[in-house]
Amino acid sequence: MRQADNLMAERPVTERLTGKVIMITGAASGIGAAIARRCVAEGASVVCADHSSDAATNLAEALGTAAMAVRCDVTDQRSMERAVEAVRARFGRLDGLVHNAAAPSLDGTVVDLSEEQWRLEIDVSLTGAFLASKFSIPLMISGGGGSIVLIASQFGHVATRKAVAYCAAKAGLIHLAKAMAVDHAADGIRVNSLSPGAVATPRLLQRWPDLVAANESLGPAHLLGRIGQPDEIAAVAAFLLSSDASFVTGTDLLVDGGYATR
């Protein structure tokens, strides 16, 4: 695998998130876990929200006293409301939300997919972002504002074969972020989406036997000749959550190694 130029190892971690409380859905593994680790490293308190309570608890324990775990189903309104109430009870504030929860990869055209499969993708990615934001925004407003980051995909910009539900959901996330940015700018809330390319996470192992095979297959489609690393996505998410991005809202950041330019 082509090296990531050792940039992550050399780049100093700041403390620009000190004092902030960040909730991350789908935090137990992959990109979500990398974002949680990065936020704690930059001084934040982190809420690891995931449908797997054991995995979320394990991550929170590994991160130490700056983290707490919350079990939640992002597709269920009451579950998401309880998760935000747990944040309020523990910290009394919420400064950032990252919606990273994603459904299992489902192949299919509109002819192939069942309605149940379609709804699962839309419910986890898009309705999940709606519900997480619905209950997080009032708590953010009470604390003076905040930042929301919706994890989309390069496939929200360009399409690929047999991924119609995934492409539609991720494109929806990009425009949802824009619409919420318009609605809540006056509340001091910035809303952006972040669109990764292929990233070396356990999710890829649903399709390839190992990450080496995944990189050999997917890497050439990216201008940089490789798939991304979770820490590279986490670094950009931390930027969007921080005051360094204080003039950034209503936009989508492609962190895709140049995939969408082809």
Q: Tell the residue number behind the tokens 């590994």, with chain if given.
A: 62
C-alpha angle 130-241-38 in degrees, rounded to nearest 5: 110
Q: pLDDT tens digits, residue range 89-125?
A: 999 999 999 999 999 888 899 999 999 999 999 999 9
Q: pLDDT tens digits, residue range 127-177?
A: 999 999 999 999 999 999 999 999 999 999 999 999 999 999 999 999 999
By percentage, how much of the chain surpasses pLDDT 90? 90
The predicted pLDDT at position 1 comes to: 47
Are 2 and 212 spatial neighbours (Cβ–Cβ below 8 Å)? no
Q: pLDDT tens digits, residue range 180-201?
A: 999 999 999 999 999 999 999 9
- CA 76, CA 82: separation in Å to the nearest integer? 10
Q: pLDDT tens digits, residue range 2-20?
A: 455 554 555 567 889 999 9
Mean pLDDT of 48-63: 96
Torsions phi, psi for 196 (to 5 deg): -75, 160
Measuring CA to CA, which residue among 191, 188, 189 is closest to residue 149?
A: 191
Structure token digits, residue 9: 């190892």
Give the catalytic positions in this structure. Answer: 166
Distant-in-sequence contacts of 79-87, Cβ < 8 A, 24+ apart: 80/128, 80/131, 80/132, 80/134, 80/135, 81/135, 83/23, 83/47, 83/49, 83/135, 84/23, 84/135, 84/136, 84/139, 86/47, 87/21, 87/23, 87/47, 87/139
Topology of domain 15-253, CATH:
Rossmann fold (3.40.50)
